[in-house]
Structure 1
Amino acid sequence: MTTLAARPTTSRLGYVDNLRIMLTVLVLAHHSALTYSALPFWYWTEPSTSPSGIALVVFAVVNQFYFMGFFFLISGLFVPGSVDRKGPGAFARDRLIRLGIPLVAYWLVARPVLSLREWPARSAEGESFLHFWFTVGDPGPLWFVEVLLVLTLAYAAFRALRARVGVRSGVVVDGGVGAEGVAGAQGVAAQPRPVGFWAIAGLVGVLGLATFLWRLVVPAGTYWEVVGLPTPAYLPQYVILFVVGLLATRRGWLTALTVRQGWAALVVAVVGLGMAAGTTALATAPGAGALALLASAVAENIFAVSMIVALLVLFREKFSGQPAWARFAAQNSFAVYVIHPLVLVGVAMLFAPLVAPAGVKFLILLALAIPLCWGFAHLLRRIPGVARVL
């Protein structure tokens, strides 16, 4: 019997945690923009078709091209190492606690509270408050937690099946690492595999083709009410980038990315932004054909992959350190993600009487919400048992 053992590690990559902080702030900025933009897709909105209101729409659309896919990639980085240490069964139970409990808590508490404005109308129709409380709204931003839970449980099932098949064939894979077995928790391999231009281009091609074929069935703007998924048109990107995160852990791709590739990706992202915005506008116009849809799918993912590569290299080279404030922010970032709708809506309601351009109100809301979210998250996590989940 052959045993291929993983070498456990405990260190983390500071720049990956710093990227998670940045993306969490970007989520707050995204939903703050929806509050005052011409897109009324948030719990509390003050729609504006002014120039700054339109600018906030553009900001939100550009974010959507890449930032949640990036979140899934980063989430995937730490999954293999966690399964290595705990085993598939214990890992699955841990995910059900760490992701399932916040999802259920949001559904039972935050979701109906954020939808209370709908109660008078539904009460007038004869609906009971109890029925309203348990049926109004959807998971909101916690759709990310919902999808991530499904993906992580699927990976745990894959690892359990792989281990079972390995035992039957006489090869025991300790932690499921295999011959390339390498550092799990921090997402770095002992011998990083080079990431060439064609590999990055291939990823763009796979993402573009998968997105195009998917959007023939699930066009942009589709909303899945049953599961509360606001952007199912981007599901191929979410799933593929999560898998890229899993593979990057084993192959050391984060370390292998070069500074030159980072600069090249930044240039491509800047140039590709205009292409992505233009083709997306054409693809969502009435009567748009398959060619416009294909161009949009490819252009969006050129921008998305380029931004992700550029940010990975930038943070690895320039923002890898973690001073005390960054450690604090990283520890509380998931709790911030869970509670931020309550904070954003509360602050926006307080400032509703303020007469100011949409862009100004957006900046005020974001400036207040960032410290408030982290402050409330810190206090929440000090409650006994909460830090185990958040």
Structure 2
Amino acid sequence: MSSISHTMATAEAHAAPKAKARNAALDRTRTFLTLVVLLHHSVIPYTYFGHTDPKYSLVFDMIVLATDSFFMAMFFFLSGLFVWPGLSRKGPVQYLLDRLVRLGLPFVICAFTLIPLAYYSFALRQTPDLSFSEFWWKTITVGPWPSGPIWFLWILLAFDLVASAAYLLSPKIIDPINRLSLQGRERPTLFFVVMLAVTAVLYIPGRVHFGAGSWFEFGPFSVQHGRVLLYATYFFFGAGIGAMYLDRGLLAADGRLAKSSWGWAVVALVPYCLMWVLIYIKREILGNPVRLPDWYEVTYGLFFASFSVAIMFVILAYFLRFKQSGWSILDPMQPDAYGMFLVHYPIVLWLQYWMFDFNWPAIVKAAIAFVLTVLLSWAATAGLRKIPGAKHVL
């Protein structure tokens, strides 16, 4: 019997009962990532990358470079983990109908309400006497109609549609990834190398062709051109891991990944520092050109992909290790995390609008924005979830 077959047989023999049980490690990971999103949007006005406030801090540049390099891709990975079990339990048609409610309905509601409300704060800076009704009508009829963070919803729904079609073709189509995950229980480095290789091959050409800042935009539907295949890679690697034996492969609580978080932290730190080296070269040597040389984009793309996969391994390793730790400060927030992601954007932008004219240090403004955004978005979500039927969406 081959080693892979033996691993699968052993996993099947020890498989957990089919009764659904929440995975505390993954719940905490998802909630942590939600807080990372809120932190990212709280500090970005005070950075070189998104300098929309007079105050600035290099620390926030360091945070934004890190978060932008992994957090949305990791959300796709976590979402992918539960696709195949959902498809096998419900069937593709019912699964997609449920996803339309969970993803499509919030996208439509947010696109017509919360997102225009959020960007109205920017418009008032340029036109103080502009009414919200005028801004809203111009946004949905003339544009631009930015989507803010909710672009994630329609892309995830599109990936779910592709996954459903793939499942209809063959439920075993992603078994190779699942076998790789089972090997990854004892050899996470192998999984890392394969995932990094696939990610780099699918991500770097798009970055070279479109550039790092190019976006597809059609009404409220938007996404970065160069990152679509990056997100698809994470989603389907997640789907492969979750297809069978989720807790017996790479993400096993007693696997090698969970025991090696510090090693993966070092692996992540190297490409992160190298990205800063390339940023220095771009600004100080190349003169910060609009179009960067292909060699630069290829090299940066490789470091970006390396850091993205490695930091995901760091976060997964940390939460897997402490899966059995009992209570976590993240646990009370877990039921409301998705809603917080949906409603936080107008809150954080209006807090930043309110603080714009205050001569406070960037660290003070960012701290106020982050703390209040967490508290207010959490309270708003908790209130919304009390509406009959809202828990099916939020």
Q: Which TM bucket (shorter chain)?
A: 0.7 to 0.9
Residue pairs, 1:308-323, within 5 angstroms? 308-321=312-325, 323=327
2:240 to 243, 247, 250: 247
Q: Deviations over 1:243-285 (max 9, x none)?
A: 1101111362211443454332111112221012323554684
User: How far is 1:345 from its partner?
Assistant: 2.2
2:118 to 82, 103, 114: 114
User: How far is 1:209 from its partner?
Assistant: 2.4
Q: Deviations over 1:123-168 (max 9, x none)?
A: 98xx9667325234222100111111111121112212336xxxxx
Q: Which residue in the other structure is 1:185 paired with?
A: none
Give 2:257's aligned amino acid: T
Q: Contact conserved, 1:266 with 1:310, CA < 8 A, in 2? A: yes
1:234 aligned to 2:227?
Answer: yes
Q: Which residue in the other structure is 1:160 paired with?
A: 168
User: How far is 1:346 from its partner?
Assistant: 2.9
Alpha-carbon distance change, 324 to 275 in structure 1, aligned in 2, over 3 angstroms: closer
Alpha-carbon distance change, 129 to 326 in structure 1, aligned in 2, over 3 angstroms: closer
Structure 2, unpaired ranges of 5+: 1-11
1:140 to 148, 152, 159: 148
User: How far is 1:213 from its partner?
Assistant: 1.0
Alpha-carbon distance change, 130 to 239 in structure 1, aligned in 2, over 3 angstroms: closer
Q: Distance in 2 between matches of 1:122 and 1:29?
A: 28
Alpha-carbon distance change, 268 to 180 in structure 1, aligned in 2, over 3 angstroms: closer
Alpha-carbon distance change, 309 to 192 in structure 1, aligned in 2, over 3 angstroms: closer
Q: Which residue in the other structure is 2:294 paired with?
A: 290
Q: Distance in 1 between matches of 2:334 and 2:97?
A: 23
1:202 to 194, 202, 227: 194
User: How far is 1:236 from its partner?
Assistant: 2.3
| TM-score with structure 2 setting the length | 0.81
User: How far is 1:9 from its partner?
Assistant: 3.5
Q: Deviations over 1:179-205 (max 9, x none)?
A: 9999xxxxx98x985434233122212
Structure 1, unpaired ranges of 5+: 164-172, 183-187
Secondary structure of the corresponding residue to residue 224 of structure 1: strand
1:224 aligned to 2:216?
Answer: yes
The alignment's C-alpha RMSD in Å is 3.2
1:14 to 24, 30, 33: 24
Secondary structure of the corresponding residue to residue 210 of structure 2: coil
Secondary structure of the corresponding residue to residue 46 of structure 1: coil
Give 1:211's aligned amino acid: Y
Q: Distance in 2 between matches of 1:128 and 1:376?
A: 26
Give 1:363's aligned amino acid: A
Residue pairs, 1:1-390, within 5 angstroms? 8-40=18-50, 45-48=52-55, 50=56, 52=57, 54-117=58-121, 118=123, 131-132=137-138, 134-135=140-141, 136=143, 137-162=145-170, 194-226=186-218, 228-229=221-222, 231-249=224-242, 250=244, 252-255=249-252, 256-279=255-278, 282=281, 285-286=288-289, 288-321=292-325, 323=327, 326-390=330-394
Q: Contact conserved, 1:75 with 1:245, CA < 8 A, in 2? A: yes
Q: Distance in 2 between matches of 1:354 and 1:180?
A: 52
Alpha-carbon distance change, 198 to 128 in structure 1, aligned in 2, over 3 angstroms: closer
Q: Distance in 1 between matches of 2:36 and 2:330?
A: 16
| TM-score with structure 1 setting the length | 0.82
Q: Contact conserved, 1:276 with 1:303, CA < 8 A, in 2? A: no
Q: Distance in 1 between matches of 2:162 and 2:270?
A: 37
Q: Distance in 2 between matches of 1:290 and 1:28?
A: 33
User: How far is 1:233 from its partner?
Assistant: 2.4
Q: Deviations over 1:51-94 (max 9, x none)?
A: x1x43233212211111111111111111111121111100000
Q: Contact conserved, 1:332 with 1:377, CA < 8 A, in 2? A: yes
Q: Contact conserved, 2:216 with 2:225, CA < 8 A, in 1? A: yes
